[in-house]
Amino acid sequence: MDSLATLPWKSKASTPIIGKDERLIFESRHHWTKHVPLFCVYALFFPLCLGMIGFTTRMNLSSPELSSFVLFGALITITVVQHWFFHAMLSENATDIILTNKRMFYLVHRLWLVDSMDELVLEKIKMVKVSRHGVVRHLLNFGELSCLFDVDAGKTFHFLPTPQVWARQIESMLNVG
């Protein structure tokens, strides 16, 4: 239990309490490429299920039992896929990575499921590391930003747009401090 008090980052629910002299420097969310696999699944299932629902009108004449079975299956599938996709999209849109002149926040929300906040005190960061592997990450300018408190302890932000700008800003603030 004592580790929470000594850890340079804290995890807790709800929104942070902002100090009077604290000001916003950067605010971002994950890069849009994170949603591409999700969108591909949605783009595959949505028209497929709609097509199946439409197709049941033709099937109804030849085999009404099979047609109602297909309609029911397609309706359930499209409802689940629709809400699953938008749940993920809305959750991603509610997730925030915030850098202020004193702290860094990582607010993660999954609608009705998860509501968490990681808080990093900038003073305790020893080193900042940026990594961008692959052509896509270089072309679209996103990657990982690791804030290290010790040799092997730290926090990594994935799919962060322009991580080098964030790293430069954090380093400059650490040097000033």
Partner 1 sequence: MSISLVSFLGIQIVSLLVMGMFIFEYWRLCKNRKRMLHSLGDSKERTRVRERRQYTLIILYVLTTLLVLGISSAVYFL
- Candidates 31-39, 78-86, 127-135, 144-152: pick the segment binding partner 1 (CB under 8 A): 78-86
Task: Name the H helices within the chain.
Answer: 2-6, 36-62, 64-94, 135-140, 163-176
Rounded to an integer, what distance in angstroms lies between the CA atom of residue 117 and that of residue 105?
A: 7
Alpha-carbon distance values, 15 to 104, 106, 109 (Å): 13, 10, 11
- Residue appearing with tokens 């040097």: 175
Question: Are the CB atoms for 98 and 24 separated by under 8 Å?
Answer: yes
Question: Which of 7, 48, 53, 174 forms a contact with partner 1 (CB under 8 A)?
Answer: 53
Looking at the Cβ atoms of 2 and 65, the one nearer to partner 1 is 65
**131 near partner 1 (CB under 8 A):** no
**150 near partner 1 (CB under 8 A):** no
- Binding positions for partner 1, rule: CB under 8 A: 15-16, 18, 22-24, 27, 46, 50, 53-54, 56-57, 60, 64-65, 67-68, 71-72, 75-76, 78-79, 82-83, 86-87, 89-90, 93-94, 96, 98, 100, 107, 109, 111-112
